[in-house]
């Protein structure tokens, strides 16, 4: 379960005034790409200790009055956050392979607010993207009329420039990308070849080396890498292929070699599996479906990778309205991209239990953008010195005096003095953090 003390410690880098100092969000946050044809935007939300969400910011990346106008900042199709939490990369699609598309880079502030850094023109749709490091971005380049590739770019935070590094052919219609949890290996899911997963070694400067490719008789939609206690696998949705019930499994190793998971494809009781996401502990697979718009959970056998349906499901509603599913610790976030039928759209938050059940945290929250789509999550690193209120890497009398001098004062959520439970009040809970780490010296 989540620890509110751990959550509160993460806010110590936020200023007392609650200002938007840039660098990374000091609080757990989610970022949503709103994939509208007439307006593209990115929404940021703070994740509260109880799993509910609070709107933080929204920035428009493109706007037009008609789809006949070539405004490439609309259609925010993909989103990824850098490992250091400082930058968001957003891929845009115009729906035409005859024009250049765009990647937008945004900077994240300590209060999860956003600032536009730069916009870059890239050839053909950057359908999906993932940061391989703080300065290397890998992109799945999809096109129905030209070469599909994995492409890498190097990012210079100092100059604010994204530069092309390398590219390799990756299949017939490359629509998703993910990475190995510990190795510099990128995986491309391709549906144009009847189902293909490819692996590539990504060098520090973005150099690409092909490793392996595994073909399937099913589509490999929106792949998700899952680490089940050291056994790394890639799961994907089979879409309408194989009767519209297939979940595809791929085994991989630390060298990027690929093989079909025993028993794959697995059968879902849902209709048209479209994406797969693993839980943080690698014991549960969450599968989103296109036709019936459900998210269903499956238990993962750590040894074999086999899937067993848990019987737990959440129904978003209208066909095609379920857009993305992402995991943060024991939380699961789901986007609903349309108000059709039920009149609501936005992002849901759930707590995932060990048995695969989903408990909803509050009501769906409006992203204030058109067609909420892909999600990126951010969990800030725990400060290295719990109880250190002044940043000197010591827990001592100075920190004790700071707590006592502000006893029962409402210092505001995010204050370095609010150590324990993110309630904004300096009280016995915060004092106990100092006393519990008394005389700690941190590096």
pLDDT bracket for residue 291 (50, 70, 90):
very high
Tell whether the model's pLDDT for residue 31 goes beyond 70. Answer: yes
Strands 196-202 and 208-215: antiparallel
More confident residue, 215 or 230: 215
CA distance 291 to 271: 5
360 and 420 in a single domain? The answer is no
87 and 160 in a single domain? The answer is yes
Please report the pLDDT score of residue 6 as a whole number: 36
Got the DSSP string for 65-106? SSTTS--TTS-EEEEEE-TTSSEEEEEE--S-TTSEEEEEEE
305 and 440 in a single domain? The answer is no
260 and 397 in a single domain? The answer is no
Q: Cβ-count burial of 353 within 10 angstroms (0-12 exposed, 13-18 middle, 19+ buried)?
A: middle
| CATH code for position 430 | 1.10.1330.10
Gyration radius of the chain over CA positions: 22
CA distance 180 to 270: 28
Mean pLDDT of 190-204: 93
In a domain, 194, yes or no: yes
Q: Cβ-count burial of 303 within 10 angstroms (0-12 exposed, 13-18 middle, 19+ buried)?
A: exposed
200 and 104 in a single domain? The answer is yes
**What residues contact 71, with CB distance under 8 A and at least 6 apart?**
62, 63, 64
393 and 435 in a single domain? The answer is yes
Tell whether the model's pLDDT for residue 12 goes beyond 50. Answer: no
* Mean pLDDT value across the chain: 91
Element (H, E) at 34: strand 29-35
Residue where a domain terminates, one of 329, 357, 378: 378
307 and 404 in a single domain? The answer is no
Helix, strand, coil distribution of the chain in percent, nearest 5: 5, 50, 45
pTM above 0.95, yes or no: no
In a domain, 12, yes or no: no
**What residues contact 30, with CB distance under 8 A and at least 6 apart?**
44, 45, 47, 53, 326, 328, 333, 347, 375, 376, 377, 378
In a domain, 16, yes or no: no
Please report the pLDDT score of residue 418 as a whole number: 86
In a domain, 7, yes or no: no
In a domain, 1, yes or no: no
CA distance 101 to 98: 9
Tokens of 364: 């769906």
pLDDT bracket for residue 10 (50, 70, 90):
very low
212 and 179 in a single domain? The answer is yes
Mean pLDDT of 290-298: 97
pLDDT bracket for residue 20 (50, 70, 90):
low
Residue where a domain terminates, one of 378, 396, 412: 378
Residue count (the chain): 443
In a domain, 2, yes or no: no
Please report the pLDDT score of residue 433 as a whole number: 93
Range list of β-strands (E), 279-317: 284-289, 294-300, 307-315
pLDDT bracket for residue 386 (50, 70, 90):
confident
Tell whether the model's pLDDT for residue 21 goes beyond 60. Answer: no
- Asked whether 226 and 285 are in contact (CB, 8 A), the reply is yes
pLDDT in tens, 310-326: 999 999 999 999 999 99
How many C-beta neighbours within 10 Å does residue 123 have? 17
Strands 185-190 and 273-278: unpaired
Tokens of 354: 């060990």
pLDDT in tens, 98-146: 456 899 999 999 999 999 999 999 988 899 999 999 999 999 998 877 8
pLDDT bracket for residue 15 (50, 70, 90):
very low
Find the domain containing 169 and state its range: 21-378
Tell whether the model's pLDDT for residue 17 goes beyond 60. Answer: no
In a domain, 32, yes or no: yes
Please report the pLDDT score of residue 383 as a whole number: 63
| CATH code for position 201 | 2.130.10.10
Range list of β-strands (E), 143-283: 148-156, 161-171, 174-179, 185-190, 196-202, 208-215, 221-228, 231-237, 246-252, 258-260, 266-267, 273-278
More confident residue, 415 or 355: 355
- Asked whether 330 and 2 are in contact (CB, 8 A), the reply is yes
339 and 434 in a single domain? The answer is no
Tell whether the model's pLDDT for residue 185 goes beyond 90. Answer: yes
Mean pLDDT of 322-344: 95
Please report the pLDDT score of residue 35 as a whole number: 94
Q: How many domains does the chain have?
A: 2
- Asked whether 187 and 150 are in contact (CB, 8 A), the reply is no
164 and 106 in a single domain? The answer is yes
What's the first-to-final CA gap in the chain, in angstroms? Answer: 28
Residue where a domain terminates, one of 324, 356, 378: 378
277 and 225 in a single domain? The answer is yes
Phi, psi of 15 (to 5 degrees): -70, 155
Calculate the alpha carbon distances from 354 to 282, 297, 308, 357 in Å.
11, 11, 14, 7
Strands 273-278 and 294-300: unpaired
* Signed CA dihedral, 252, 323, 372, 29: sign only: negative
Going across the sheet that includes 148-156, the strands are 125-133, 136-142, 148-156, 161-171
In a domain, 163, yes or no: yes
Please report the pLDDT score of residue 13 as a whole number: 36
Mean pLDDT of 296-311: 97
CA distance 190 to 220: 6
Please report the pLDDT score of residue 100 as a whole number: 65
pLDDT in tens, 261-276: 999 999 999 999 999 9
Q: Cβ-count burial of 359 within 10 angstroms (0-12 exposed, 13-18 middle, 19+ buried)?
A: exposed
Tell whether the model's pLDDT for residue 425 goes beyond 60. Answer: yes
Mean pLDDT of 325-351: 95
328 and 415 in a single domain? The answer is no
């Amino acid at each position: 379960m989540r620890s509110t003390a751990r959550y509160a410690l993460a806010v110590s880098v936020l200023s007392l005034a609650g200002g938007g100092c840039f660098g990374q969000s000091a609080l757990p946050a989610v970022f949503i790409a709103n994939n509208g044809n007439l307006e593209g935007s990115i929404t940021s939300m703070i994740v509260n200790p109880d799993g509910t969400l609070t709107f933080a910011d929204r920035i428009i990346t493109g706007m037009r009055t008609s789809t006949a106008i070539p405004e490439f900042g609309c259609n925010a199709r993909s989103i990824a956050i850098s490992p250091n939490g400082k930058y968001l990369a957003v891929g845009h699609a115009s729906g035409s392979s005859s024009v250049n598309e765009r990647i937008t880079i945004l900077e994240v502030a300590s209060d999860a607010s956003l600032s536009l850094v730069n916009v870059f023109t890239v050839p053909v749709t950057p359908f999906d993207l993932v940061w391989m490091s703080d300065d290397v971005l890998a992109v799945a380049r999809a096109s129905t009329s030209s070469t599909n590739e994995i492409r890498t770019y190097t990012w210079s935070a100092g100059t604010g420039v994204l530069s092309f590094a390398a590219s390799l052919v990756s299949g017939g219609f490359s629509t998703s990308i993910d990475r190995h949890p510990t190795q510099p290996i990128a995986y491309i899911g391709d549906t144009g070849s009847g189902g293909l997963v490819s692996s590539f070694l990504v060098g520090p400067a973005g150099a690409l080396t092909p490793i392996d490719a595994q073909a399937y008789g099913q589509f490999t939609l929106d792949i998700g890498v899952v680490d089940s206690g050291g056994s790394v696998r890639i799961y994907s949705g089979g879409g309408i292929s194989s009767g519209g019930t297939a979940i595809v499994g791929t085994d991989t190793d630390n060298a990027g070699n690929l093989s079909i998971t025993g028993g794959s494809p697995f059968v879902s009781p849902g209709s048209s599996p479209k994406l797969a996401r693993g839980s943080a502990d690698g014991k549960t697979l969450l599968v989103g479906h296109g036709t019936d718009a459900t998210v269903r959970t499956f238990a993962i056998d750590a040894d074999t990778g086999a899937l067993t349906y848990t019987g737990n499901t959440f129904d978003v509603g209208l066909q095609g309205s379920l857009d993305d599913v992402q995991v943060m610790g024991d939380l699961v976030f789901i986007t609903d991209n349309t108000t059709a039928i039920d009149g609501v759209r936005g992002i849901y938050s759930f707590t995932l239990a060990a048995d695969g059940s989903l408990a909803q945290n509050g009501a769906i929250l409006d992203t204030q953008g058109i067609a909420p789509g892909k999600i990126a999550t951010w969990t800030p690193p725990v400060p290295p010195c719990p109880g250190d209120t002044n940043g000197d890497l010591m827990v001592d009398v100075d920190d004790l005096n700071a707590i006592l001098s502000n006893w029962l004062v409402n210092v505001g959520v995010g204050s370095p003095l609010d150590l324990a439970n993110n309630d904004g009040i300096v009280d016995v809970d915060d004092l106990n953090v100092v006393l519990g780490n008394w005389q700690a010296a941190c590096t």
